[in-house]
Amino acid sequence: MTTDTLFEALGGAAGVRRLAHAWHERVLADEVVAHAFSHGFHPQHTERLAAYWGEAWGGPPTYSEQYGSESSVVRMHSGNGPHEEMDRRAIACFDQAMDDVEVADSTLWRVLHDYFAWATTVSMAAYPQRAGDVPEGLRIPRWSWNGLQA
């Protein structure tokens, strides 16, 4: 197993930005997942997403230092009730985006898939009833070659 972080293995900030862009394009084209963006989205959504993923995957703490906290991210994804079909399709879009940017290493592909599936169905889905239920002080979960880090 490599000692590189997932961030480094994906090609650093540029690689994570490519993946974030590819995923964003995929979800906007998906009739179900695009609904989550129908109210509009931040003009720097892709850059912010890349900073968030990068930090989660062992890169610099750019998201935490410049944009917000885990609490703010989870809050954005909360209070919409359960949405299993949308989650399933968002995960499929992520897998397709990894193929779009040619994540060729099968281990890296699987670990990133596992991260995204976990983040979508566990972390971001933890407060389906009310965004106000999300506590302050949540930290961005870190993910490595071995999965979620304690």
Q: What is the pLDDT of residues 4-20, one digit of tens each?
A: 999 999 999 999 999 99
Indicate whether 143 belongs to any domain. yes
Indicate whether 1 belongs to any domain. no
Indicate whether 60 belongs to any domain. yes
Indicate whether 55 belongs to any domain. yes
Q: Identify the pLDDT of residue 1.
A: 45
Q: What is the CATH number of the domain that holds 82?
A: 1.10.490.10
pLDDT bin (cut points 50, 70, 90) of residue 45 is confident
Q: How far apart are alpha carbons 60 and 147 in whole angstroms?
A: 18
Indicate whether 4 belongs to any domain. no
pTM (global) more than 0.85: yes
Provide the residue range defining the domain that includes 73.
11-148
Q: Identify the pLDDT of residue 3.
A: 62
Number of domains comprising the chain:
1
117 in Cβ contact with 92 (< 8 Å): no
User: Taking every pair of C-alpha atoms in the chain, what is the biggest distance, in angstroms?
Assistant: 42
Indicate whether 135 belongs to any domain. yes
Mean pLDDT of 35-55: 83
Give the tens place of pLDDT for each residue, 96-121: 999 999 999 999 999 999 999 999 88
Indicate whether 103 belongs to any domain. yes
Q: Identify the pLDDT of residue 113.
A: 98
101 in Cβ contact with 18 (< 8 Å): yes
Q: Which of 42-46, 52-56, 79-83, 111-115 has the lowest mean pLDDT?
A: 79-83
Q: How far apart are alpha carbons 147 and 113 in whole angstroms?
A: 11
81 in Cβ contact with 131 (< 8 Å): no
